[in-house]
């Protein structure tokens, strides 16, 4: 997600073609994709095997409407996701609805939680709880759960009433809370809010295991997710993990929450699932949720025309086969620390670097005007957008995030390279970003 004003701009270059980590525009300029676009293109661009799989599916049939047919790609992708979840301790995450992207996946997760509560007779549980500085998508339900003020503002009056808890961020702990107490404090805050609202009114808690587009790769501190799991169990609140950005292997485990040893009730995935070769997302839910819904209502009620789109599922299968065969998630786990180190080295001595953080191939730098006080740069400087431009000038694509910091804009830049990046390319990506950041900091400080 980027500032709406900058999404469609006449100055944007026109995309022509891409291979591997490189994108080419129609003027012949070449860009090294250091962020997989918006953390999507996890096996790079122009992969012939995936293209062939999609073409072969199109030659058979593009789409068999889900309410008339199942299909081989849909069944195989279901099997792959079920197996990948089970291998990482998430046995039972085996029911799923395939949709066209992240927002639809989140929307489906929210509705599955509501339907589950209704199916088990908890008819007053209509409310969601979410967190500030989070991003769950642009549809009204997902936006209602998103703590991203600038994106909410024009629609505020139409959004659901969703209490937004403090961001879970050890670099910027809630006021008066020590960094080492963030996990406990934030979990306690969730429990307090459930009790304040009345547990009988709460359907679900939704959160990103590693915050992406609204905060810049912020992993929750150790222990937080397990505490949330306990609280959700205690109050019969559905736990929804939004893994649209941080999942599908990006953080070095197939599920991001796998790192914490925690299994959600419901989980959204999208970006890396079909790696941008087709629009595809999924709402994945646990068998025990499915069984309750099926007993009461027959099936989940979240369908769309393109639910389970056959060619999109074929793309997902082809991508996931490559990710599995080439052990790319294991590669991300092994090389994440290298990306982190190279980023640190490239930014060595830059006073404006407040924090470098992330997990796997999901790393970000937060830039600040004052490292001591963590004071952000003035919003009007748009430092994150300047870095994006300076990076583009150097032929690098990175992902700028203008997150809301204590009511003001903050500046973060995400690197999320394709999983099949080489070590030399990692060095090139971080080196170019280092140059871009230095140039921008000199410009705004000078
Ligand atoms: N959830 C998370 C965590 C995201 O990062 C995003 C997009 O950035 C979404 C949901 C929405 O996904 P989409 O843009 O595909 O609708």
C-alpha of residue 266 to centroid of ligand 1, in Å: 16
* Atom number of ligand 1 nearest to Cα 104: 16
Question: How far, in Å, CA of 226 to CA of 137, rounded?
Answer: 25
Q: Is residue 265 located within the same domain as residue 146? A: yes
pLDDT the model gives residue 5: 42
ipTM exceeding the 0.90 mark: yes
Pairing outcome for strands 281-286 and 93-99: antiparallel
Q: Is residue 185 located within the same domain as residue 70? A: yes
In a domain, 2, yes or no: no
419-440, pLDDT tens digit by residue? Answer: 999 999 999 999 999 999 999 9
* Atom number of ligand 1 nearest to Cα 242: 3
Pull the structure tokens for residue 340.
């982190």
* Atom number of ligand 1 nearest to Cα 142: 10
What's the whole-number mean pLDDT along residues 337-348? Answer: 98
* Atom number of ligand 1 nearest to Cα 106: 10
Q: Is residue 185 located within the same domain as residue 305? A: yes
pLDDT the model gives residue 228: 98
Q: Is residue 269 located within the same domain as residue 336? A: no
* Atom number of ligand 1 nearest to Cα 271: 15
Q: Is residue 298 located within the same domain as residue 359? A: no
Q: Is residue 206 located within the same domain as residue 62? A: yes
Give residues (CB < 6 A) around ligand 1. 1, 38, 101-103, 106, 135-138, 208, 212-213, 242, 244-245, 270
Buried b (16+ CB within 10 A) or exposed e, 139-159: eebbbbbbbbbebeeeeeeee
What's the whole-number mean pLDDT along residues 336-344? Answer: 98
Question: How far, in Å, CA of 78 to CA of 96, rounded?
Answer: 7
C-alpha of residue 380 to centroid of ligand 1, in Å: 26
Residues 6+ apart with CB under 8 A from 157: none
pTM of the shown model: 0.96
Confidence band, pLDDT 50/70/90 cuts, at residue 379: confident
142-175, pLDDT tens digit by residue? Answer: 999 999 888 899 999 999 999 999 999 999 999 9
C-alpha of residue 218 to centroid of ligand 1, in Å: 15
CATH number for the domain harbouring residue 296: 3.40.640.10
C-alpha of residue 39 to centroid of ligand 1, in Å: 10
pLDDT the model gives residue 1: 46
What's the whole-number mean pLDDT along residues 381-402? Answer: 95
Tell me the residue range of the domain where 253 lies: 52-325
Which of residues 274, 307, 325 is at a domain's end? 325
Q: Is residue 180 located within the same domain as residue 235? A: yes
* Atom number of ligand 1 nearest to Cα 103: 16
Count how many domains the chain has: 2
Total residue count of the chain as it appears in this document: 446
Helix (H) or strand (E) holding 95: strand 93-99
**Among 443, 396, 275, residue whose Cα is nearest residue 23:** 396
Cβ atoms of 438 and 350 within 8 Å: the answer is yes
259-280, pLDDT tens digit by residue? Answer: 999 999 999 999 999 999 999 9
Question: How far, in Å, CA of 325 to CA of 238, rounded?
Answer: 34
Which of residues 325, 347, 363 is at a domain's end? 325
pLDDT beyond 50 at 4: no
The best mutation among 146, 242, 245 to test binding of ligand 1, ranked by most ligand atoms within 8 Å of the C-beta, falls on 245
In a domain, 228, yes or no: yes
In a domain, 7, yes or no: no
* CA distance from start to end of the chain: 30
Q: Is residue 319 located within the same domain as residue 345? A: no
Question: How far, in Å, CA of 406 to CA of 409, rounded?
Answer: 8
The best mutation among 257, 271, 283 to test binding of ligand 1, ranked by most ligand atoms within 8 Å of the C-beta, falls on 271
C-alpha of residue 416 to centroid of ligand 1, in Å: 15
């Amino acid at each position: 997600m980027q500032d709406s004003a900058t999404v469609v701009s006449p100055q944007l270059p026109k995309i022509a073609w891409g291979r591997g980590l490189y994108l080419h525009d129609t003027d012949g300029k070449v860009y090294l994709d250091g962020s997989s676009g918006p953390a999507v293109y996890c096996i790079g661009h122009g992969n012939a095997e995936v293209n062939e799989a999609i073409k072969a599916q199109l030659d058979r049939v593009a789409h068999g409407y889900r309410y008339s047919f199942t299909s081989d790609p849909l069944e195989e992708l279901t099997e792959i996701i079920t197996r990948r979840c089970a291998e990482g301790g998430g046995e039972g995450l085996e029911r799923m609805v395939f949709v066209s992207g992240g927002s639809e996946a989140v929307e489906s997760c929210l509705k599955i939680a509501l339907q589950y509560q209704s199916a088990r007779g908890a008819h007053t549980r209509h409310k969601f709880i979410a967190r500030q500085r989070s991003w769950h998508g642009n549809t009204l339900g997902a936006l209602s759960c998103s703590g991203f003020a600038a994106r909410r503002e024009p629609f505020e009056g139409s959004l659901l009433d969703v209490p937004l808890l403090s961001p879970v961020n050890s670099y910027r702990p809630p006021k008066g809370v020590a960094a080492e107490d963030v996990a406990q404090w934030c979990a306690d805050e969730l429990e307090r809010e459930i009790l304040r609202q009345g547990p009988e009114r709460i359907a679900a808690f939704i959160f990103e295991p590693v915050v992406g587009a609204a905060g810049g790769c912020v992993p929750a501190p150790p222990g937080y997710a397990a505490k949330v799991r306990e609280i959700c169990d205690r109050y019969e609140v559905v736990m929804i993990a939004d893994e649209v950005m941080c999942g599908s292997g990006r953080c070095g485990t197939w599920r991001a929450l796998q790192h914490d040893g925690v299994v959600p009730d419901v989980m959204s995935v999208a970006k890396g699932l079909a790696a941008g070769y087709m629009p595809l997302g999924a709402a994945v839910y646990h068998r025990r949720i499915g069984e309750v819904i099926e007993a009461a209502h027959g099936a989940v009620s979240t369908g769309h025309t393109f639910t389970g789109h056959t060619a999109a599922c074929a793309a997902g299968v082809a991508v996931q086969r490559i990710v599995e065969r080439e052990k790319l998630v294991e590669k991300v786990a092994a090389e994440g620390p290298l990306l982190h180190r190279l980023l640190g080295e490239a930014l060595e001595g830059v006073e404006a670097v407040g924090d470098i953080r992330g997990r796997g191939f999901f790393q970000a730098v937060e830039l600040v005007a004052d490292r001591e006080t963590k004071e952000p740069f003035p919003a009007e400087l748009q430092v994150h957008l300047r870095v994006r431009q300076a990076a583009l000038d150097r032929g690098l694509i990175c992902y700028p995030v203008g997150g809301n910091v204590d009511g003001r804009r903050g500046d973060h830049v995400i690197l999320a390279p394709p999983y099949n990046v080489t070590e030399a390319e990692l060095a090139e990506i971080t080196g170019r970003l280092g140059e871009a950041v230095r140039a921008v900091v000199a410009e705004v400080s000078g």
